[in-house]
Chain A
Amino acid sequence: MTRAPWLALALLLLACLALAVGVSVGSTGFDSLRHALQDPVARQIVAEIRLPRTLGAWLTGALLGLGGAVAQGLFRNPLADPFLLGSASGAMLAVAVALAWWGAPAAAAALVPRLGLTGAAFVGALGGVMLTLLLAQGVQHTLRLLLAGVVVGHVLGAVKDLVTLAAPEVLAAMVAFMLGNTSLIGWQACGVMAAVLLPALALAWALARVLDGLSLGEATAHSLGLPLAPMRAALVSVLALATGAAVAQAGLVGFVGLAAPHLVRSLARLTHGPLVVLSALMGGLLLAVADIVARVLIAPQELPVGVLTAVLGGTYLLWLMYRRTRGGGGR
């Protein structure tokens, strides 16, 4: 337990380091940083492109890490990830519809440019979760919720496929959205994500006792006298808002939400209070680093960051598993 504050400090320091590196690397290299004081374009590159996108990558990762920790606690399933309740497929469907309607003369299409793809993705993500909750008739039954989430995910995914088949020209744009992209995040997006992250983190921290109780089994949680239903509903809304905000700004960045809590658990044994906070910090660090690597690897071009998170997080997770099983076998 005493390790948690140090771990948090270390993760924050590393995040600051990542922020510093993130500001200094990019397609124009160090030049922009060196001339930032004289050249207005260089200053714009540093202050309005690199800084917000690095911070935005961290915030996205933090939202996903938080969502992952909450989802794994809520469903008592180490394989749960933040997109489990249909937010990803909801967001994808909304983006597909928005793209297909772009420029269409329909009355509903007038809404699309005003909402933007970002707004559409956010609305879609929340809509997907709502539909799951509706089908599961609330949040009382974990299994029902899980099943409803899977069903909604598949059905909305199929509807999205129908939309892209009807309008194949949106296919390429859809792929770009599905790969995840942190390069378009500006200060406004950072503000939105921070405004979601802070209350979500506070709420998750406050409700962590429920997650601790649930980890001992549903019956035990009941016997502890916790008001399970409202607290669960609150946790589901944390999950939905956090993933919705992340998906809307950065697309489908996979694996961060799944891997971050596992990485934290591998470093310390924790109750859910510190776990949700540390998972957020870990997710933020993971995505901030991935964002930097995505910029550097094939500079001056860029890789989609979602591709990298899977490779980075996945290999580390595999290595952890390998080390653990080998250690266990040796004993």
Chain B
Amino acid sequence: MKRMNSDLTPIQGLYRLAWLLFLAFVLHAPAQAQSYEVADDRGVSVRFDAPPRRVVSLLPSLTETVCAIGACDRLVGVDRYSNWPEAVRRLPQVGGGLDPNVEAIVALKPDVVLAATSSRVSERLRALGVKVVALEPKTGADVRRVIGKLGELLAVPGAERVARDIDAGVAAAAQSVPPALRGQRVYFEASGGPHAAGPQSFIGEMLRALGLANIIGPELGPFPKINPELVVRADPDLIMAGARSAGDMARRPGWQRLRAVRAQRVCVFGLDEVDILVRPGPRMPEAARLMARCVTDQGAREGRAP
């Protein structure tokens, strides 16, 4: 070192110093630019110095979205209800979104935890110095926004394309419904109780996209608990429900006289299919295809359409 320095003339030394300063500036600048903030659904801004590499997701729809934008390999832990795609089933489970295991989450050393806005664990994790981004998609617009946000958060380019693919997929499914079968009045039972899917929910939006009418009015909210009488009075053309709640439908008072029940115009979805239908995320085209198939199959059975 000493000998090298002695070889330098003062001018060369200055040049070298300038070069080093330049290098330092050039190398430092991107590091500065890389620090960014992401605002989550509760309005909390979370600061990141580098894109997160280790991600824990506590909501199935967020897990699916992370995978859909091509960041599945960054997931290191998921909640116990996340079951799609296949790869996430091998990941450590850290409890449910509402009863998560704080210790297991911290032990995974996540760079960021994705949680639902209503989850109580966010406050606790933040107190422990873990970065939490709370996102909760509830409508189709939310899904697009969450995709964009996750793309921004994980620094994945082309996340918008996933959102466009979803829209295109839903539109294609809508195209597959023959015009003769459009305009049917549908009752979609979101869960027993009975809770219906209203027009404001993403399921209701999808029904509208498929050209179907909803017997539930928008004034009742996204997933209202309804009086079974309401369904009897509305007498829907078609009923869609999950296997869990469809079982006792004909036994509900007055329901055996419903046209849809008498003509067996009831689509019962299996448990896997319900997962697809009730999660606002990248599998919405698949959900739309399930609904479209329900409509066309019922139509074909009655010879109303091909």
Residues A27 and B127 in contact, CB atoms below 8 Å apart: no
Which residues on the B side are within 8 Å of A186 (C-beta)? 124, 127-128
Which residues on the A side are within 8 Å of B120 (C-beta)? 117, 173, 176-177, 181, 184
> Given A41-B109, A49-B106, A102-B42, are A27 and B101 also a contact pair (CB < 8 Å)?
yes
A300 to B96, CA, bound (A): 12
Q: How far is the CB of B298 from chain A (nearest CB, A)?
A: 28
Residues A48 and B128 in contact, CB atoms below 8 Å apart: yes
* Chain B interface category by residue count: 20 to 34
Chain B binding surface SS class: loop
Q: Is B95 an interface residue (CB 8 A)?
A: yes
Q: Is A220 an interface residue (CB 8 A)?
A: no
> Given A27-B101, A302-B101, are A165 and B225 also a contact pair (CB < 8 Å)?
yes
> Given A169-B223, A170-B118, are A45 and B106 also a contact pair (CB < 8 Å)?
yes
Residues B103 and A49 in contact, CB atoms below 8 Å apart: yes
Residues B223 and A28 in contact, CB atoms below 8 Å apart: no
Q: Is B18 an interface residue (CB 8 A)?
A: no
> Given A103-B41, A186-B127, are A168 and B101 also a contact pair (CB < 8 Å)?
no
Q: Is B99 an interface residue (CB 8 A)?
A: yes
Please encode chain B, from 85 to 125, with 1 for each CB lying within 8 Å of some chain A CB and 0 for all others. 00000001101001111111011010000000111110110
Q: How far is the CB of B133 from chain A (nearest CB, A)?
A: 15
A301 to B106, CA, bound (A): 14
* Chain A interface category by residue count: 35 or more
A102 to B95, CA, bound (A): 23
A102 to B134, CA, bound (A): 12
Q: Is B270 an interface residue (CB 8 A)?
A: no
Residues A301 and B225 in contact, CB atoms below 8 Å apart: no
Residues A302 and B221 in contact, CB atoms below 8 Å apart: no
A280 to B129, CA, bound (A): 33
Q: Is A172 an interface residue (CB 8 A)?
A: yes
Q: Is A50 an interface residue (CB 8 A)?
A: yes
Residues A300 and B101 in contact, CB atoms below 8 Å apart: yes
Q: Is A216 an interface residue (CB 8 A)?
A: no
Nearest residue, chain B, Cβ from A50? B103
Nearest residue, chain A, Cβ from B80? A301
Q: Which residues in chain B, 209-230, are within 8 Å of chain A measured between CB atoms?
A: 221-225
A binding-site residues for B, Cβ under 8 Å: 26-28, 32, 41-42, 44-45, 48-50, 53, 99, 102-103, 113, 116-118, 165-170, 172-173, 175-177, 179, 181, 183-184, 186, 188, 300-302, 304
B binding-site residues for A, Cβ under 8 Å: 41-43, 80, 92-93, 95, 98-104, 106-107, 109, 117-121, 123-124, 127-129, 138, 195, 221-225
- Chain A to chain B contacts (Cβ below 8 Å), 23 pairs: A28-B103, A28-B104, A32-B103, A44-B106, A44-B129, A49-B102, A49-B106, A99-B118, A103-B41, A103-B117, A165-B225, A168-B223, A169-B118, A169-B222, A170-B118, A173-B118, A175-B98, A176-B120, A183-B99, A184-B123, A300-B101, A301-B93, A302-B99
